[in-house]
Structure 1
């Protein structure tokens, strides 16, 4: 009979102890990162109460965090609030990073207005999108997230177990929210868009140049900017998307 080695909840066959230790370390680091992310989410919700959803994606969502990994955020906002929210989120991430240099990089990876997000979930997007959506760790907006998942039954055909776990047993309905039409916030959102867009493009080009020089080519990314949508999409993500399409 094979002997088992147990380390902080991680189990492996004797002879694979190093693997178990690494798994345990990643799990422990994931818990720490999620705690940091909850702090960030709570502060963002205080200064941007129109945020509908804040979630973690990437390695932390998959319980496989490594020390140098970024902390990736997925954010959904009300209409005409995306760019002012992104501005607040970037400022908050910068402030926290300045106070504690040991914190992981807080990457605002994807921000959408609610209509864009709801359309994206409702329409079939492919297996990688489904896996990312069903695996994200929700920090704020749990009811909104469950309703997004329930609006996407196409995901159940690809990942039935994950879908059922996230859709939940009882249907819930978010309280209807009237569109906010206050002119100052609408104008501030446009100001934030025209201020941030050039900055984000330049920063993206600078980072890609550094990645090119360090030969970390798969980490290079595209900066996607639209009025109701913002995202960083890495070349690695594009390769993974193609792999999933072939596999499924």
Structure 2
């Protein structure tokens, strides 16, 4: 067997180790960057165990010999079951708003992980040329809840419209997000088109399977269609552009401010006509840099083990 399988296995383990998350055998196979038979995968895992580069604890594999990581994962998985029920209710509410074409659970919850006080992250696909009107209408109840001091759990942090379904940042991080995304509300097969537009993710994760079968098709209700009629025509397009321009200007100023969010990143987002998303060069870059560092250290450790 070539070294490529062991390197691929280490890459999966290193990625999830960034999040202190032990993985199961089927998860390693799912996130591997190349196809592999069960026999070769088992051999690669055993070889890495013999070299003390990974540890096998029950059904989990981890780069650290720390059983508390397994206990933590099991606790987070149990919390995710409860959080997912709440996310489904929020998704049903979100789909009622104008111009929403698809709702997917993203972030840690899409990977079956939830923590105390963790948000519900959603990925939204909006109607072409009405993303910014739709986003504004969605954020009105969020702003009201904030002003009243009420808790709000939904984090609507990534929007694209149906004319820009391909994710431009194509790397290990975004491939993981595409592969683990959980579509829950789907209009006019928009997520089928989304996955077709993002087949590049198979280059990084050839074994992943889109979870589109778990989504529910929906048709807009009468109130939603009436509100969309109000913003129809050229004036609606001008309004959409105006809202985008105001958001872009405000967020550009925020990005230059020394203030940071709880995760240590600048406030604001990228505002373009067909998408609204967090700055990719902060959290994405941080994760990918950590992955490169871990792989460098693991490669050095593995070389030392082979030399001995």
Q: TM over 0.5: same fold?
A: yes
Q: 1:26 to 1:75 in 2, by over 3 A?
A: same
Pairwise mapping of residues 64-143 of structure 1 onto structure 2 (< 5 A)? 64-94=113-143, 101-104=150-153, 106-117=154-165, 120-121=166-167, 125-141=170-186, 143=189
Q: 1:166 aligned to 210, 214, 218, which one? A: 210
Distance 1:102 1:83, change over 3 A: closer
Length-normalised TM-score, structure 1: 0.68
Distance 1:28 1:93, change over 3 A: farther
Deviation by residue 1:109-157 (Cα, 9 ceiling, x = unmatched): 111111111xx25x78233222111111212118432332234433223
Residue segments in structure 2 that go unaligned for 5+ positions in a row: 1-56, 214-227, 296-308
Cα-to-partner distance string for 1:76-125 (whole Å, 9 max, x where unaligned): 11112201110122123345667894553x222111111111xx25x782
1:129–1:11 Cα change, 3 Å: closer
Root-mean-square deviation (Å): 4.0
**1:178: which partner in 2?**
none
Q: Against the structure 1 CA distance between its residues 201 and 232, is the aligned structure 2 distance closer, same or farther, given a 3 Å change threshold?
A: farther
Could you tell me how far apart the structure 1 residues matched to 2:169 and 2:255 are? Answer: 34
Displacement of 1:17 after TM fit? 5.8
Distance verdict in 2 for CA 1:55–1:196, change over 3 Å: same
- 2:133 touches 2:243 (CA, 8 Å); kept in 1? no
Matched pairs, number? 219
**Bigger strand fraction:** 1
Larger radius of gyration: 2
TM (normalized to structure 2)? Answer: 0.56
Name stretches of at least 5 consecutive residues in structure 1 with no aligned partner.
Answer: 170-180
